[in-house]
Amino acid sequence: MRVPLEGFTVAPMTLDGVERDVYRRGTGPGVIVMHEIPGITPTVARFARIVADAGFSVLMPNLFGTPGRPMSMPYAAGQLARACINREFSVFAANGTSPIISWLRALCAAAHAELGGPGVGAIGMCITGNFALALMVEDAMMAPVLSQPSLPIGLSRCAKRGLHLSEEDLVTVKRRAAAGVPVLGMRFTHDFMCAGERFERLREELGEAFEGIEIDSSRGNPHGIPRQAHSVVTHDLVDEAGHPTRVALDRVLAFFEERLRPPA
Q: Give yes or no for residue 263 having a pLDDT over 80.
A: no
Mean per-residue pLDDT of the chain:
94
In the chain, domain spans: 9-260
For 55, 161, 227, the CA distances from 106, given in Å and listed in that order, are: 23, 28, 37
- How do beta strands 18-25 and 57-61 pair? antiparallel
Rounded Cα distance, 87 and 81, in Å: 12
The domain over range 9-260 is classified in CATH as 3.40.50.1820: yes
Buried b vs exposed e over 125-147: b needs ≥16 C-beta within 10 Å? bbbbbbbbbbbbbbebbbbbbbb
The verdict on pTM exceeding 0.85 is yes
Type of residue at 257: E
Banded pLDDT at 1 (limits 50, 70, 90): low
pLDDT per position as a tens digit, 98-127: 899 999 999 999 999 999 999 999 999 999
Rounded Cα distance, 149 and 33, in Å: 14
pLDDT per position as a tens digit, 60-78: 999 999 999 999 999 999 9
Question: 124 by DSSP, 3-state: which?
Answer: strand
